[in-house]
Chains A and B, each alone.
Chain A
Amino acid sequence: MRIGLRLQENSCRSIVLDGRTIVSAAREIQAGSLAEALDSALSGLSREFGSGVRDITADVGHVLATRKLADVVAVHISPRPPADVFHAARLPAHVEPAVSRTVHVCGGHDMRGRPLAQLDLEAFLTVLPSILSGNVRNVAITSVGSTASTDHETRIADAILSNDSEMRISISSDFYSSVFRDRDYTTVLNTALMATGEELAALLDAAGRRHFPAATLSFARNDGGRAPLPRLAVAPVHGLRPEPASAILGAATLAGVPNGEVVICTDSGVSAGHIRDGLPAANSLIRQGYEASLASNAAVVESYTANHLIRPDVTSVIADLRTEQATPLPFGLVPTLPSAQDVALVGSAAAPLTSWIDRLETISGRTDLAAVQHRAEEDAQSAVVQLGANPGQIHIIESNVFAMPYGNPGIVRIRVQAAGETSSNKERFLAAEARCAAP
């Protein structure tokens, strides 16, 4: 059995899933603090289901989104600093106040991974004492061309850590986007959330050990998958907005549909996404209008309109999650799931371990292309194993190669998603079912 949790500031909502069946409907515990609510929720579930529970996955997005961001020092590595205020990178308004100081360091790489300028480590070392002596313990490092070479970012990070190993550091090469401001925004936000991520990971770990010592603990990711709890302390940004993906996965899980369209109807409107091979179809960016995008793989969700094309050969799962269901759904939609369920919580419980490889590769022809794609698939599978998956239960969900318009001839982007399940969990996740169902 698997537990899905949703943490909020002073409450914890839970569901228990056995295969695709809900064995304990969503229930919410309110308490004086999140720790108390979590403890109380897990204590009750432990009495009821005991050692039958193998996996616990928590959606921590609400807590991450509502906590005050920690202060961050942003380090920008590029050949030259902005010459005027108009050309300086701008962060979205909710993150901008978290940056207490921006330090420019000369450096950066082109798309071939060649240095655009020598890293001016010496100059950085002269300002480092003033960074370390301040109150800010979080540093976000973003370099031009870090999708092609991580060298300058890691050297700056090493310089900081060798002087103070307690500093929390994020580097932008951990997040794939070809846009500096996207990586800067994501890195700053990730760093600003790391303390909260650490706190939540410790809280969940302590409560989990107390009540379910044999279960593995994870947090729900924005792509509909999950990652082990220790990752929450280093990459909290991937757990910031899991609910849209979890809702798609949860509805598809309850319907037993590994491939198809999922329509979610709520009080605020109707949206649609796709489930492919047991996981939500995902994009590498969470777009926010014309502002910087969050460089985190997340479900593609679009608003449903009267122009929506219905494809007869594609299964549709329609979930009616409105508080009141007396009136019919808009657009003539008819629910396919029996009643209002907390499908996002089901999705958290059902989430498999997921991993992405998203990187640039240099190729000279088709043979090369096949080789680098194969290597990326191997790396993605290996990454899922490192997260705890059983090598025998891993599937490649997506494997794509993208030409880069106006890029260097010979450089392509390779993007691969792998998903897997732990050896302790004998329940097949939806992606595995998709493979078994395939002819």
Chain B
Amino acid sequence: MSTQLTADDVRHLRTGAHFLACAIDPTAIHVYTDMVLQAMEHQSLELTTVDELASDDLVVAVGMVTQGLFIADMPPVGDEFLGCIKAMEASLGRRVRAIYPLAAANINGMIPLMVGLQASLPVIDSDPMGRVFPLISQTTLNIGQVPISPIAMMGVTGERALVEANNPQRAETLVRALVTELGGWAATAMYPCTAAQLKEHGVHGSVSRMIRIGQIQDAETSVERKFLMLAELLDATRVARARVSHIEGLSRPTDLGLPAQPSSVTLEDESTGQIIRLEIQNEILLVLVDGAIAAAVPDMVTLLNSEHGTVVTLDDVRVGNVVDVLTYPAAAQWYSPAGLDLAEPTAFGIPLRHPRRSHA
């Protein structure tokens, strides 16, 4: 069912987008939320389901790919995504009918709203990750063998590129290299497909899930009540309430072409004496409790302030902080053999298979 998003929906989406990607500073989401709210004063914003589109309608993913320059340090000037959509249409000789987020979390969860307003296109309540992954090849569309290219890109300086590569891993390598030279981020449009393909291989309800998470987090209710509601919505488990005892940079070797350095955070659960270790590279990849796997990518992890229930961004984690470590499952597609091939710990250089693989 198609819905008109309200300003409150956008504010809740802001909170939900941060909740689902606590590794990344949320300032860019805040900046974009301001833009969206301003633009909504003059225009309505439609969130549609993939079912409401004609099965052969052309839909594209829009999102930022970053490698270096923080989006919040150089917010887009405003013409980038329109340029990407235009380039995509020119390349395919067809009009784009709707857009969807490249990742329904963090900044890429918010960007399609602004692009939808600018381009007067509906935003689809689906995405190809159901979370954030660092690589553009880590999508459920890739699992479903939906082509990633052509990929239209426009960088900080207004320079453009169109990448045509059949292999998603090669596309990732080429796009990442281009993004670096384009200045550190690029607005992109990719995974052009039919509504039917997105329906078959996408993660659905992922935009409205961000709004629902935000409604819970922003509500005037107790921290414990919020946790119970989130646990029900996300099938979440609180692995530990623990105090940060050590933060370590460059904690593991890396040679996989992933952005950023690996790092680790060690916590102590003072009530149980358990030692919790978070292995991080762009996202929280692994949660170990006394050496046993409590969560492993593609499982999702969010850190919450134990006292206030607010999301703790990894940038703000300091020795002595007490946080709740929440884990919850990713979209079902990620636990298929093909999904785990793309997104289990080994894909991030950690020599561990996901526990669900051995049970498959």
Q: Say yes or no: B259 contacts A407, CB within 8 Å.
A: yes
Which residues of A60-87 are within 8 A (CB) of B? 78-87
Question: Number of B residues whose C-beta is below 8 Å from A?
Answer: 61
Is A305 interfacial (CB-CB < 8 Å)? yes
Q: Say yes or no: B72 contacts A311, CB within 8 Å.
A: no
**C-alpha gap A309/B35 in the complex (Å):** 38
**C-alpha gap A281/B250 in the complex (Å):** 24
Is A117 interfacial (CB-CB < 8 Å)? yes
Chain A residues contacting B67 (CB-CB under 8 Å) are 406-408
Partner of A402, one of B68, B78, B249: B249
**C-alpha gap A384/B180 in the complex (Å):** 37
Which residues of A156-211 are within 8 A (CB) of B? 178-182
Q: Say yes or no: B39 contacts A178, CB within 8 Å.
A: no
Chain B residues contacting A408 (CB-CB under 8 Å) are 67-68, 180, 184, 259
Chain B residues contacting A303 (CB-CB under 8 Å) are 308
Shortest distance from the beta carbon of A163 to any chain B beta carbon, whole Å: 28
Is B315 interfacial (CB-CB < 8 Å)? yes
Is B144 interfacial (CB-CB < 8 Å)? no
- Chain A, residues 375-414, CB within 8 Å of chain B (1/0): the string is 0000000000000000000000000111111111111100
Shortest distance from the beta carbon of A208 to any chain B beta carbon, whole Å: 36
Chain B residues contacting A309 (CB-CB under 8 Å) are 241, 306-307, 322
**C-alpha gap A182/B23 in the complex (Å):** 20
Shortest distance from the beta carbon of B243 to any chain A beta carbon, whole Å: 8
Which residues of B207-258 are within 8 A (CB) of A? 223, 241, 243, 247, 249-250, 254, 257-258
Chain B residues contacting A78 (CB-CB under 8 Å) are 74
Q: Say yes or no: B249 contacts A116, CB within 8 Å.
A: no
Q: Say yes or no: A403 contacts B263, CB within 8 Å.
A: yes
Q: Say yes or no: A403 contacts B76, CB within 8 Å.
A: no
Provide the main secondary structure of the chain A interface. loop
Q: Say yes or no: B69 contacts A110, CB within 8 Å.
A: yes
Is A353 interfacial (CB-CB < 8 Å)? no
**C-alpha gap A405/B21 in the complex (Å):** 11
Given contacts A116-B157, A178-B73, A403-B263, contact A290 B134 (CB under 8 A): no
Chain A residues contacting B188 (CB-CB under 8 Å) are none
Q: Say yes or no: B74 contacts A406, CB within 8 Å.
A: no
Which residues of A293-332 are within 8 A (CB) of B? 293, 300, 302-303, 305, 307-309, 311
Is B282 interfacial (CB-CB < 8 Å)? yes
Shortest distance from the beta carbon of B18 to any chain A beta carbon, whole Å: 11
Q: Say yes or no: B180 contacts A369, CB within 8 Å.
A: no
Q: Say yes or no: B77 contacts A144, CB within 8 Å.
A: no
Chain B residues contacting A374 (CB-CB under 8 Å) are none
Given contacts A179-B27, A179-B72, contact A366 B250 (CB under 8 A): yes
- Chain B, residues 305-317, CB within 8 Å of chain A (1/0): the string is 0111000001110
**C-alpha gap A409/B35 in the complex (Å):** 30
Is B145 interfacial (CB-CB < 8 Å)? no
**C-alpha gap A79/B75 in the complex (Å):** 11
Which residues of A340-375 are within 8 A (CB) of B? 363, 365-366, 369
Partner of B250, one of A117, A276, A369: A369
**C-alpha gap A116/B184 in the complex (Å):** 9
Which residues of B44-83 are within 8 A (CB) of A? 66-70, 72-79
Q: Say yes or no: B315 contacts A402, CB within 8 Å.
A: yes
Most buried by A among B114, B183, B254, B318: B183
**C-alpha gap A340/B34 in the complex (Å):** 43
Q: Say yes or no: A409 contacts B259, CB within 8 Å.
A: yes
Is B294 interfacial (CB-CB < 8 Å)? no
**C-alpha gap A181/B318 in the complex (Å):** 24
Shortest distance from the beta carbon of B282 to any chain A beta carbon, whole Å: 5
Question: Number of A residues whose C-beta is below 8 Å from B?
Answer: 57
Q: How many A-B pairs fall under 8 Å by CB?
A: 157
Chain B residues contacting A276 (CB-CB under 8 Å) are 320
- Chain B, residues 260-287, CB within 8 Å of chain A (1/0): the string is 1111000000100000000011110000
Is B97 interfacial (CB-CB < 8 Å)? no
**C-alpha gap A305/B318 in the complex (Å):** 20
Q: Say yes or no: A116 contacts B72, CB within 8 Å.
A: no
**C-alpha gap A228/B54 in the complex (Å):** 69
Is B31 interfacial (CB-CB < 8 Å)? yes
Instruction: For A370, give the chain B residue with the smallest CB separation.
Output: B250
**C-alpha gap A325/B3 in the complex (Å):** 54
Is A258 interfacial (CB-CB < 8 Å)? no
**C-alpha gap A364/B75 in the complex (Å):** 29
Shortest distance from the beta carbon of B115 to any chain A beta carbon, whole Å: 12
Chain B residues contacting A402 (CB-CB under 8 Å) are 249, 263, 315
Chain B residues contacting A274 (CB-CB under 8 Å) are 320
**C-alpha gap A99/B257 in the complex (Å):** 43
Partner of B260, one of A85, A108, A180, A407: A407
**C-alpha gap A303/B307 in the complex (Å):** 9
Q: Say yes or no: A180 contacts B322, CB within 8 Å.
A: no
Q: Say yes or no: B78 contacts A87, CB within 8 Å.
A: yes
Q: Say yes or no: B68 contacts A411, CB within 8 Å.
A: yes
Q: Say yes or no: A80 contacts B250, CB within 8 Å.
A: no
Chain A residues contacting B27 (CB-CB under 8 Å) are 179, 181-182, 293
Q: List 30 A-B contacts (CB under 8 A).
A: A80-B77, A80-B157, A86-B35, A87-B78, A111-B69, A116-B74, A144-B156, A178-B25, A179-B70, A181-B27, A274-B320, A290-B34, A303-B308, A308-B307, A309-B322, A311-B270, A401-B250, A402-B263, A403-B260, A403-B263, A403-B281, A404-B260, A404-B261, A406-B66, A406-B259, A406-B282, A409-B260, A409-B261, A410-B261, A412-B249
Q: Beyond A178-B73, A179-B70, A409-B259, list 12 extra A-B contacts (CB 8 Å).
A: A80-B156, A90-B34, A180-B73, A281-B320, A307-B308, A311-B243, A366-B250, A404-B261, A405-B259, A408-B184, A409-B257, A412-B261
A-B residue pairs, 5 tightest by C-beta: A83-B78, A87-B78, A403-B261, A408-B68, A401-B249
